[in-house]
Amino acid sequence: MPSRRDVLRLGAGALTAGVAGCSEAPTGQEDTATTDGTATATATTTQSGDESVYTEVYRESIDSVVLVRADSGQGTGWVFDDSVVVTNEHVVGPADEADVRFSNGRWREGTVLGTDANSDLAAIQVANRPEDATPLSLADEEPVVGQEVVAIGNPFALSGSATAGVVSGTDRAIPAPTGYRIPDAVQTDAAVNPGNSGGPLMSLDSEVVAVINSGGGDNIGFGISAALTERVVPSLVENGDYQHAYVGLSFTAVTPTVAAANGLDEARGLLVRSVDPNGPSAGVLQGSDDTAFVDGQQARVGGDVVLSVAGTAVQTFEDLLSLLALRTSPGDVVTVEFLRDGERRTAEVELGVRSQN
């Protein structure tokens, strides 16, 4: 398996190999500051004052965007509050300290306050930040497909670069370093490359829509949503970690083929494939233990079909992940509505804590 440093040499590939965060500084390009100490940028302006809206976003945000360097490589970060910088967990790795460089070219030593591999987020405490490096605001509203955005970061150690695009999708579930999925992710066609990870994906109102996480190929990149970031980062600062709710089930979507194999009237909900024997749903819900063929297609049969959790219908795996991540916590008791042998039932499940590996 290639190391994170190998990602730089491999370039953008499949999503599972496309983590955009850790890159080595290319020889001769370790510092790309201008002679007056300010970072170079791809955003352009004209002397006549005909600036693009992207330039306005860049100018309002760049002082708060930083380069983060740790033992495992380097990426991007941004100022979250008076003394905290946010980046990706895979950028800092197991390090306790990281060096942070602001757009004026000045370095600061940072202490890693906490990391969460399940959301790929990390918080770094930085003392004596420059006065112009003010905190960036997280977007309050969920982005919409087609919304214009700007990615600001340090791809391939090219400091202060900006690329523009649109939100290509929302509520995506993307791979986390732990092997789980990060829910509620934002997809964009703004160019994202090694070194961008941890940087902000900005709205045209200069708010952080997502924390850039990965690039999966041509014109496709992903970021951790502002909503999930807002839940996780304060806990990293206060406690050093974040506990995700865990239901202890694996699923397959109920397609028309699965519905026919299980004698269901319609294709809806999620079929339980397996139940963690040590998880919170053990003894409450049942998994699938057999398969059947319908019109030449193999389908799982015999498991419970989950229709709703905590009163919210779940049609896709992404629906369930986002619900658990954004609206529940470990220890919460949720009502699960499901079908068993064609009969509608409900059960109470006390959510557990998802492991970090």
State the DSSP H helix or E strand holding residue 67, giving kind and residue range, or none if neither: strand 65-70
Q: Letter for the amino acid at 206?
A: S
From 197, 206, 308, 322, the catalytic residue: 197
Burial-class residue 177 by CB neighbours within 10 Å (0-12, 13-18, 19+): buried
Of 23, 90, 159, 214, catalytic? 90
Q: Has 244 been annotated as catalytic?
A: no
Helix (H, G, I), strand (E, B) or coil at 138: strand
Of the listed 120, 184, 304, 319, which one is catalytic?
120
Distance CA 164, CA 143 (A): 15
CB atoms within 10 A of CB 280: 23
Beta bridge partners of 344: 339
Q: Is 185 left (phi over 0), alpha (psi -120 to 50) or beta?
A: beta
**295 carries an active-site annotation:** no
Query: Using CA atoms, how far apart are residues 255 and 33, in angstroms rounded to an integer?
Result: 54
Euclidean distance between CA atoms 92 and 112, whole angstroms: 8
Cα 249 to Cα 205, 289, 290, 352: the distances in Å are 39, 14, 17, 11
C-alpha–C-alpha distance, residues 32 and 157, integer Å: 8
Structure tokens at 254: 């109920």
189 is catalytic: no
Report the catalytic residues: 90, 120, 197
